[in-house]
Amino acid sequence: MKKIYLLVIAAFFFLVVLIVLTVLINGKKTQNNQNPSVFPTTFPLSGSNKVKNITTPLPLSSNKIENIMEFVGTVENKDFKAQYSPSLNKVIVQEKTSQGQQSFYQWVKDNNLSNIINSADNVVFTKSEITPEILPTPTTPVDALNNKIKDFFDLLNLLYSTTAIDSDENQNNNPGQGTPIISPPIISPTPDQKNQGSNKVYYGQGSDQYGNITLPPNCLLRSCGCGPTSVAMIASSYISTDYNPQKIVDIYIKNNYSMCCGSYSGSAKSVLKSLGLKTTDYIINEYPPVAASEVTPVLKKYIDAGWTLFVLAYYRPNNGGGHYFWITDIDSSGNILAYDPYYGQGSSPPLNENKYSPFPEYAQVFGVKQ
């Protein structure tokens, strides 16, 4: 505990230095902003159904989608709005009309980008308005520093959570620790499944039956619902299949738990406990997240003792591609087997998460059982 206090004191002085630097850089930024930008950040929006083509030569490194979209900025007309999301490494396209997809791909074709931008690999279409949580991260000096300050507070939050995360009072006043998690976008939804020969129930967050459940204010289960869907699989398996994704979402809403563009592990923990299930303290609570090989031995001990595991993991470097799933077993070879609401769609559960090695990397894990 003394070590935690020392870390907090040291962190406070570090924060003071960051704030001073922010003020100094902000003064320079104000002066620099008097000069007009060389490139536009958006394309003409109103009136026409046609989006202006790229007339300025693209950067030399423009064979990557992130370079193209950062250079272009926001692409929008009356039919669609497209922006790049670094956290998903995909272009998020809001279909404003029924012609949204067609209009977007016409823009792609007109700019000879078809070999780089395509729906199968790096485009996600949504009917909902694109929200700030999935927009590009600012890259100015001040914004970069502000992002570091945010990361600093996230680190403090995780340090605190190692001692207080499992108390009922903490769960009620601050449901969840860490950053809200955005589920990977769904490409081809599949029906719900139930594992053959098992009493465990599987739900796909992009299924026809549940994928279009609204997560207030304007998200869908298929794009942001890995947390509630994982909770639904656990509750349906241990209590009753009445606890399907819709019912779990209703519980989240009743408790004012965040779901749109991500949810919190603490919210999941609170819901499971409220339903009468047993949970452990956080077995893993790492920042930055760690490889499967580092956590498998300790997780296997909990599995062997009769626990299953609720997991927050990341599928890309630098804490990218955050995702929740439910570990139901770890075999003798160390393979982590899970009911995964996104990656498990289209196959019979459980899914071997180790197939994506060296990812996922594990950030938070707690045990759950009847």
**Domain ranges within the chain, ordered by starting residue:** 1-35+141-166, 65-134, 167-369
Which single residue is written with the structure tokens 């909990």?
Answer: 302
The per-residue pLDDT for 91 is 81
Instruction: Please list, in sequence order, all residues whose beta carbon lies within 8 angstroms of the beta carbon of residue 277, skipping any fewer than 6 positions away.
Output: 234, 235, 238, 239, 368, 369, 370
pLDDT for 32 equals 42
Helices (H), the chain: 2-32, 65-72, 100-110, 119-122, 141-164, 168-173, 221-224, 226-238, 245-254, 265-274, 292-304
**Which residues on adjacent β-strands are paired with residue 279?**
368
Predicted confidence pLDDT, tens digits, the chain (370 residues): 555 666 666 666 776 666 766 655 555 444 444 333 322 323 333 334 456 566 555 554 456 666 666 656 678 888 888 877 765 677 888 888 888 888 888 888 887 777 777 655 678 777 766 544 333 333 344 444 554 554 455 445 444 433 333 333 333 333 333 334 444 433 333 334 444 446 899 999 999 999 999 999 889 999 899 999 999 999 999 999 999 999 999 999 999 999 987 899 999 999 999 999 999 999 999 889 999 999 999 999 999 999 999 999 998 888 777 899 999 999 999 999 999 999 999 899 999 999 999 999 999 999 999 9
Is the previous residue joined to 138 through a cis bond, with omega within 30 degrees of 0?
Answer: no
Per-residue confidence (pLDDT) for residue 313, from 0 to 100: 95
Beta bridge partners of 68: none
User: What is the distance, to the nearest Å, from the Cα of residue 93 to the centroid of all Cα atoms in its chain?
Assistant: 17
For Cα atoms 193, 324, 212, give the angle at the middle one, nearest 5 degrees.
55
Q: Which amino acid is at 3?
A: K
**β-strand partners of 188:** none
Cβ proximity of 309 and 365 under 8 Å: yes
Tell me which residue of 288, 289, 229 sits closest to 259, measured CA to CA. 229
What kind and span of H or E run contains 337?
strand 336-339
Asked if 342 and 323 touch (Cβ cutoff 8 Å), the reply is: yes
Q: What is the C-alpha to C-alpha distance for residues 349 and 326, in angstroms, rounded to an integer?
A: 11
Contact criterion met (CB below 8 Å) for 339 and 230: yes
d(C-alpha 17, C-alpha 56), whole Å: 41
CATH superfamily of 167-369: Cysteine proteinases (3.90.70.10)
Longest dimension (CA), the chain: 68
* Residue 195: predicted pLDDT: 44
Task: Answer left, alpha or beta for residue 178, where phi above 0 means left and psi between -120 and 50 means alpha.
Answer: left
Contact by Cβ (8 Å): 249, 221: yes
